[in-house]
Amino acid sequence: MLYRYLLFTRFLLVNIVAVGLLAAVFLQGWLDGLLSSHLVELSGVITLVFLYGFFLCGAKTWRHSVEMNDLKAGTSAPESRAGKYLAHAAEAGAESRSIQITALRLRLTDRIVVVRHIANSLVLLGLIGTVIGFIIALSGVDPEATTKVENVAAMVSTLINGMSVALNTTLVGAVLYVWLIVNYGILTSGTIDLLAEIIDRGEAHAGGT
């Protein structure tokens, strides 16, 4: 029955491709340095935030797909947003329907905007990791100790660890941001389609009265 859930099917296909690319990168060994890097826990925190946003986006995409199917089948639940608007549109005038459409648009937008906020937070978390990495790198620099050979190795090691944290967290935050924002784009298009379908159905109900 996937053909009835076109929005969610698009969501699945995009993420199957993304997971496949991630698996290919892992098998090539390109993630080994990241997984064994200094303070890899920072990248783990960014990943957990992404997973929360990802599953939230998936749940909202599924809900939109179900609502769209119910709407097209004429079986929208009376307590759903579509059902409430259709019941109102059948008895309301044009001005009242316009107000309800604006309110409905705001409610639907408010329902999905949290995913965008989570995606933006991934970039900010990556930047925080970058700052932490630079702090670690610079904390090991002691100009007075550079005259002693035995101290240079420790400073270089600290510098490398700090740069590793900075670059890895920036990369993880940026990549996961792109991944989540693509899914948010799918959710946004589904929200627009759902709103348009609700309005069309409402106008049809109003025109039939």
What digits encode the pLDDT tens for the residues 41-77? 999 999 999 999 999 999 999 999 998 888 888 888 7
Instruction: Single out the residue of 176, 188, 205 nearest to residue 82, CA to CA.
Output: 205
* Mean pLDDT, the chain, whole residue set: 87
Provide, rounded to the nearest whole percent, the portion of the chain with pLDDT above 90: 48
Distance CA 134, CA 125 (A): 14
CA 28 to the chain's CA centroid: 26
Please tell me which residue, 139 or 151, carries the higher pLDDT value.
Answer: 139
Distance CA 137, CA 159 (A): 4
CA-based max dimension of the chain:
91
Reported as a pLDDT band with limits 50, 70 and 90, residue 19 is: very high
pLDDT tens by residue, 22-43? 999 999 998 888 888 888 999 9
Return the pLDDT at 63: 92
Q: Report the 10 Å Cβ neighbour count for 11.
A: 23
What is the crossing angle of helices 40-73 and 81-89, to 10°? Answer: 40
Q: What is the pTM of this model?
A: 0.89
Tokens at 92, concatenated: 């309301």
